[in-house]
Structure 1
Amino acid sequence: MRTACFIDGYNVFYGLVAGTVFKWLDLPALLCHIIKVEQPASELTAITFFTSGVKPSLASRGNLSKEAQDTYLRALIARGVVVHYGRHQLEPRNAPRFVDKETAPSRHDKVAIWKLEEKETDVHIAISMYRLASQQVALPTEERIQQMVLVSADTDMTPALRAIREDFPELKIGVILPHREGMKRTTPGSLKNHSHWMRHLVTTEELASHQFPDRVPTLKRPAIKPEYW
């Protein structure tokens, strides 16, 4: 069963590897493993990764954070992953002041903040999935994608999954939630309702056993695992 995976990079980073030693994650190997476990007939044929570039001025390690992200993306590309870039938008906003967890937010007590938003990613994933689905009808049967897998827990993707299920009922839809073992997360029911199967978490053992080697060969200089990772 020819399978294409669509990855929300922001979801994967904060759901699986942020704050861990597993940032040098071999996503192609991990996804190949998971889809084989969930659907043994699966054959991973395409991976598309959607992300936005780190803003050094806001990153915890400044330029080092951007360099680390760039290096990781080079490693993914060297392994056949197609990377699409969105953008970050930083704008001044007013938000309710945080007092403590027991105090409700008040619209009468606001403070000025900088709000950082990732733009274009959700729409880009949705359009890419739908376009790929629509392109399959013109292909010979043996070349068609038979399964799409979304790697995200973002319920903004629900309308896209619903439309694909309705318009292309022959396609199987899977969802891998980028939820690390041991973290309490709510299962997004709307995604589950419009998929044929869902993987609810990724185990620590799976993360540990699917890491890139420290040096990943590329067409130019090798991608070397950042020292602080």
Structure 2
Amino acid sequence: MSQTNVRVAAYVDGFNLYNGMHDARRRRSLWLNMESLLGSFLGVNQELAVVHYFTALVQGQSRHHQVTYLDALAAHCPITELHVGRFQAKQLQCRNCHHTRTSYEEKESDVSLAVQLVEDAALDVFDHALIVSGDSDMAPAIRSVRRIAPHKRLVAVFPPRRSSVTLKNTVDATLQIYDRVPERHLLPDNVKAVDGTTFNRPSHWR
């Protein structure tokens, strides 16, 4: 008799992962195949059912590269669902000289990840969840899953050079993405979508 596969869902804090990879290896890891990386953490009889990737579109020159990457990820990774939040402008004033400047604050991504995780647990979407983040703000959502679906197994996957004692004490287990590991799981340099559009890895991401 064949054994039923364990359904694994992944929830990726895009900016936490990006900052960890950038700190570790600069831009070498940014053209990342999320499904390949997360699949490498699975055990026997585990199946990656869905990858929820949460991010927001940045301002400035980097936006084009980010959009190209997200388009490539969507084209190449069929079970990856993108959740794109926003940056909200706010004015900051220097207390000494009273000069003001515009800053941008990421909105919605953390909350969206938390809501998706709790909703999927309630709807029995997964047996095991991988939470790719080193942000302790994820802890309340994990505690909620504990209350409504205590049989679910929750694993924190820490990005390079990121960790959280709070998360470690909340989940069933932790995994660490080491500095060079993402470079083994990159998208092809040129990703072609179904409609024929090609998305090319930025030259300075090599």
- In the superposition, the TM-score normalised over structure 2's length comes to 0.86
Q: Which of the numbers 22, 27, 30 marks the counterpart of 1:23?
A: 30
| Alignment partners' CA distance in 2, 1:209 and 1:203 | 11
Structure 1 residues 95, 134: closer, same or farther in 2, change over 3 A? farther
CA distance in 1, matches of 2:110, 2:89: 18
Dislocated runs of 4+, deviation >4 Å:
108-111
Gaps of 5+ in 1: 57-61, 97-107, 137-143
- Alignment-mate amino acid for residue 208 of structure 1: E
Shift of 1:169: 0.8
Extract unaligned runs of 5+ from structure 2.
Answer: 1-5
Separation in structure 1 between the aligned mates of residue 183 and residue 128 of structure 2, nearest angstrom: 27
2:50 matches 1:46: yes
Identity %: 29
- 1:25 counterpart SS class: coil
Equivalent residues of 1:177, 1:201 under 8 A apart: yes
Q: Which amino acid aligns with 1:21?
A: R
SS at match of 1:161: helix
Superposed CA RMSD = 2.0
Distance change (3 Å), C-alpha of 1:161 and 1:228: same
Q: Structure 2: which amino acid aligns with 1:86?
A: G
**Per-residue displacement from partner, 1:95-115 (whole Å, max 9, x unpaired)?**
66xxxxxxxxxxx78764433
Secondary structure of the corresponding residue to residue 203 of structure 2? coil
Aligned to 2:18: 13
Q: Conserved in 2, the CA contact under 8 Å of 1:165 and 1:194? A: no
Residues 111-122 of structure 1 correspond to what in structure 2 (within 5 A)? Answer: 112-122=100-110
The answer to whether the Cα contact below 8 Å between 2:27 and 2:204 also exists between their aligned partners in 1 is: no
Which is richer in strand?
Answer: 2
TM-score, normalised by the number of residues in structure 1: 0.78
Q: How many residues align?
A: 195
Give 3-state SS (helix, strand or coil) of 2:58's partner: coil
1:73 and 2:70 matched: yes
